[in-house]
Structure 1
């Protein structure tokens, strides 16, 4: 399925929120969080368009750990009607390309230990579990911390 990737714009917020709420109904980011991520992450906040509508997004920031830049995937979601068609993979591959151009050699993320589809997706991209964050989510559930080397 052909999608066009581009950087997020504030006028995309309603469509991103629609996808966020359909993907994470119990632990969704709010609009203010997305605006803050947009201001912090800039051109690493991407959307995927298909036939004029947004069908997915990803937001990653560069953070510093021990003086080294590390990519941190804050969120990714694809409209349920467009899942398993390569949209998420395309978003992440473009994110990885941009991170490499910034000299980032490692990416990390947190994913719910009960999110089997998410765990499969991240493993298929090369992420490996490195720890658990107890009580990470609003409902008290744990997150698996995963990392991947880019270079």
Structure 2
């Protein structure tokens, strides 16, 4: 896949069918379409898709939270179609959402990842994220999550 043939743009309503398909192929507890409709409604400025080979190959969505002490981005969901993994697409999506959060005024970005998802944890560490703490019983099946954070300097 040639990097020139990848474009990242804001998600739109017509993308949801493909986004849900990517989600379903990526996670054992996928979001349903209504969750993506809500994300698009409430966080349209921080919801992006990556297009490759004339189809949506991945997506990322985040919210921006203000704790009154700091503003930070919260990556709610990121996924790439299996055939496009390990080609840099996930990193490009992550960089795009980080940039958007920085422009909005966030001091950093956080996300949660399954304790068992070693591959994702290594990817996030490579991208500059650090483990902050463990969140018990975070997922619907009772698995714990690791909250990871990347602070902007």
Same fold (TM over 0.5): yes
Q: 2-side partners of 1:42 and 1:9: how far apart?
A: 8
> What displacement does 1:77 show?
0.2
Give 1:94 deviation, angstroms.
1.1
1:109 to 108, 111, 117: 111
Aligned to 2:134: 132
The yes-or-no answer on 1:145 pairing with 2:147 is yes
TM-score by length of 1: 0.96
**Runs ≥4 in structure 1, deviation > 6 angstroms?**
none
Note the residue ranges of structure 1 that are not aligned, 5 or more in a row.
Answer: none
8 A contact 2:23–2:30 mirrored in 1:
yes
By how many angstroms is 1:68 displaced? 2.3
- Cα displacement (A) at 1:66: 3.0
Normalised to the residue count of structure 2, the TM-score between the two structures is: 0.95
- Asked whether the equivalents of residues 22 and 79 of structure 2 are also in contact (C-alpha less than 8 Å), the reply is yes
Residue 54 of structure 1 corresponds to: 56
CA distance in 2, matches of 1:65, 1:87: 31
The alignment partner of 2:122 has SS state of helix
From 82, 85, 91, give the equivalent of 1:89.
Answer: 91
Whether the 8 Å CA contact 2:102–2:108 is kept in 1: the answer is no
RMSD (Å) for aligned C-alpha atoms:
0.9
| Structure 2 runs not aligned, ≥5 long | none
Q: How many angstroms apart in 1 are the aligned matches of 2:102 and 2:72?
A: 10
Q: For the residues of structure 1 that align with 2:111 and 2:70, how far apart are their CA atoms?
A: 16
